[in-house]
Chains A and B, each alone.
Chain A
């Protein structure tokens, strides 16, 4: 059943429960995101996608990436309040990660020159969790996770030791919006390694060939083919 939703004055019809961000997409309106990806379950962590909705006479700010639409809902994606929230998200993230290009670009587009905050850091990872969720939900390798809480939180392999379950697909490096996971090509067997700050994620050292391995062999053949192609591409440079 399709329901009517008004987004920035534009009427769209969507399936009930469609997230606000998808409904906005249908209306051709882009909402900035930092922790959202079409292929993943919404996470709602960066809060940059916040919009104002009016439903049943109640006005509130919600995250567009995971808030479900209801019939007759009004969505405003560019109010003064929304802009103020986005600016604050960027200011806070820049205080943590001053050199991340995507943040700098967003700051520029919002006209932020001075973040006007005191606590400053030099980190690269914004903790959007995209890499971790992609590795879990799409790749199914679960090689990386988020450990610790609060200010100590970080992306790492279990117990911070070399991961045996990374298949070396490189998805994390691809999806990371800040570029803080890098793929390094070396080694005869494995072909590549993911470097992330002070940890590196290595695909299996034994090339997934020993008896006890429960990795899908057929899948691994494909992965190995991709490895080989990748290696060839790099070595021909």
Chain B
């Protein structure tokens, strides 16, 4: 009988599990999350098993198949404990050697270590990697350390202790007060104080209430929520149970996009296990409180991440936002009071309960507490999933954690907040990252995407790209968003094709501002951010596109030419060989010449020249 009724049942299960696994002192943590899987980490994991069996080391070595560690770019990755050795890009051919070394307790395989692209030094331990060592892993701590498919592993790591504390020692109102006092704000984008949302819902009249976790994550390039759902599903579930207890919900839903099959698999397994152990279902931990959880799969429209559209989608109708008020906390799913929070928000809840409001409120800035998980991508050297304390500066994220800009190019901007976020220029790089500073700079926290851009990114093109994306994702219900996006897109297209005119900038500002004040939902309300923020910080770039017909970043094809600087060119011929149009001519060791008429501006030569001799006019 696994059902836990008392605290001693819980301790017994935990101790049994710890005892069982204590014999195997060597643990190989291999990532089986989506990023590493796409690099064939499943085959690596299988090869590790057979290497262990071949050597008969089953009692000594344990393989822990974990969720995302964060350094997805280097996948398949693994860590050998207790020495904490980090191996990157592991292949099935490496496994015999890895097992051999691990069993002997000494030695590392140099070729599998991560090498700093600048200093060329290798780093042996996971905890010393620049990508990790400057992070503060709270919410993502367990992902990468526990087996997400084994509830006992979660329990052994301190899981479900918060739930037991809540149910045995706290009233619902005390839970809400604790969350309010911690200062936790929603991680789904809006940054609404979570405890306050819970309070409003708990005070709304009604016997039936619902709780929903938003795991839709529609931003292109973002994968924080996916990693958490895959790597630590129980922490989300535990947070939801605590939330349901606080507001008095009896039914909950986790809304996950259908493109996340592993997340769905891990979450549904976790729900079944939690039911089996008595953390979910009827009469949870013998307290009289009951909750059932279900997974709802979303069809992957960006707008379905918006809370009212998401609720309508759960109800089985087509996901289109509706006006608020009434807010979901008052009138939500099937008209009942509903709390909807982002999955990362729920992931914070057990930590706050276990370690206390003071501990939580101690991290972060005045109005943004705790940590935030970001997906760091773009032109930085190290990309991946990073969790940092609120208030960390952009410089620390881009340079200390991200390792700076690739190919020694210069930093130009970071785009935060997903497609409807904004671009922040170099001059603001020492800005602390929190809800308020980002908003002040014309960007948003969004769900936590950070895209780093260098001198080769054209800001007009960036705005055009995001507006194009949003135009396709707008639900089309309200006039400002549907028609406004089309107008902005047309203007941006004209500008980037070299047909920009006087008045275009004013028109963009006018339509963009109008959309901000009048759109029905947050999609339209934020959709002009990419345009307004680039206009604010990079206006001269728009002007040179419109008036001088120049794209100095070398992106808008009608607005620049490549040429070869004969002083810098060493005549290595690499560009000549690579050019698909045979537009470059020259003898070896003599300066080459590029024929503008033949050049299609594919940028292959530009990116391949080691001497920086190919320039943009």
A contact set with B: CB distance below 8 Å? 42-48, 50, 61, 63, 66-68, 85, 88-89, 92-93, 95-96, 116-119, 126-127, 129, 146, 148-153
Contact = CB atoms under 8 A, between A and B. Distances in A.
Given A45-B479, A149-B474, A150-B473, A92 B322 contact: no
B183 interface: no
Contacts of A44: 322-323, 478, 520
Nearest to A62: B323
Contact of B482 (A48, A85, A150): A150
Given A61-B517, A61-B518, A119-B490, A45 B483 contact: no
A151 B476 contact: yes
Contact of A118 (B325, B478, B491, B520): B491
Contact of B473 (A88, A89, A95, A149): A149
10 contacts: A43-B477, A48-B479, A63-B520, A92-B483, A92-B487, A93-B479, A93-B483, A118-B490, A149-B473, A150-B476
B474 A117 contact: no
B479 A89 contact: yes
A136 to B, nearest CB: 11
Contact of A153 (B322, B482, B484, B510): B482
Nearest to B524: A47
Contact of B472 (A47, A48, A93, A150): A150
Contact of B475 (A48, A119, A126, A149): A149
Q: From DSSP, what is the main secondary structure of chain B's interface residues? A: helix
A61 B477 CA distance: 19
A110 B482 CA distance: 22
B301 interface: yes
Most buried by A among B303, B486, B507: B486
A46 B477 CA distance: 8
Contacts of B517: 61, 85
A61 B301 CA distance: 28
Contacts of A116: 507
Contacts of B491: 118
B154 interface: no
Task: Give the bracket for the number of chain B residues in contact with chain A.
Answer: 20 to 34
A69 to B, nearest CB: 12
Contacts of A61: 517-518
Interface in B448-490: 471-480, 482-487, 489-490
A118 B511 CA distance: 12
B453 to A, nearest CB: 26
A127 B482 CA distance: 10
Interface in B326-366: none
B494 interface: yes
B560 interface: no
Given A149-B301, A150-B471, A151-B482, A118 B487 contact: yes
Interface in B490-548: 490-491, 494, 507, 510-511, 514, 517-520
B318 to A, nearest CB: 8
Contact of B483 (A95, A148, A149): A95
Nearest to B325: A68
Contacts of B473: 149-150
A50 B484 CA distance: 16
Given A63-B323, A116-B507, A45 B477 contact: yes
A117 B491 CA distance: 9
Given A61-B518, A85-B517, A149 B476 contact: yes
A117 B507 CA distance: 8
Given A116-B507, A150-B473, A150-B476, A45 B518 contact: no
B483 A85 contact: no
A46 B478 contact: yes
Please give me the 5 A-B residue pairs with the lowest Cβ-Cβ distance, nearest first.
Answer: A153-B476, A119-B490, A92-B483, A44-B323, A150-B474
Contacts of A95: 483, 487
Contact of B471 (A43, A126, A151): A151
B54 to A, nearest CB: 55
A47 B487 contact: no
Given A44-B322, A47-B479, A92 B484 contact: yes
Given A68-B325, A149-B475, A119 B487 contact: yes
A61 B518 CA distance: 8
Interface in B561-616: none
B479 A46 contact: yes
Contacts of A88: 480, 510-511, 514, 518
A67 B490 CA distance: 33
A96 B483 CA distance: 8
Contacts of A93: 479, 483
A47 B471 contact: no
A43 B521 CA distance: 12
B487 A66 contact: no
Contacts of A47: 478-480, 518-520
A63 B518 CA distance: 8
Contacts of A119: 486-487, 489-490
A149 B303 contact: yes
B486 A151 contact: yes
A127 B325 contact: no
Contact of B514 (A45, A85, A148, A152): A85
Interface string B419-438: 00000000000000000000
A192 B157 CA distance: 70
Given A95-B487, A117-B487, A45 B478 contact: yes
Given A44-B520, A92-B487, A95-B487, A118 B479 contact: no
A50 B480 CA distance: 12
Nearest to B476: A153
Contacts of A46: 478-479
Nearest to A148: B476
Nearest to A92: B483
A127 B519 CA distance: 15
A151 B322 CA distance: 18
Given A61-B517, A63-B520, A150-B482, 7 more contacts: A42-B323, A63-B323, A67-B325, A126-B479, A129-B477, A150-B474, A151-B476
A43 B323 CA distance: 8
Nearest to A93: B479
A30 B514 CA distance: 23
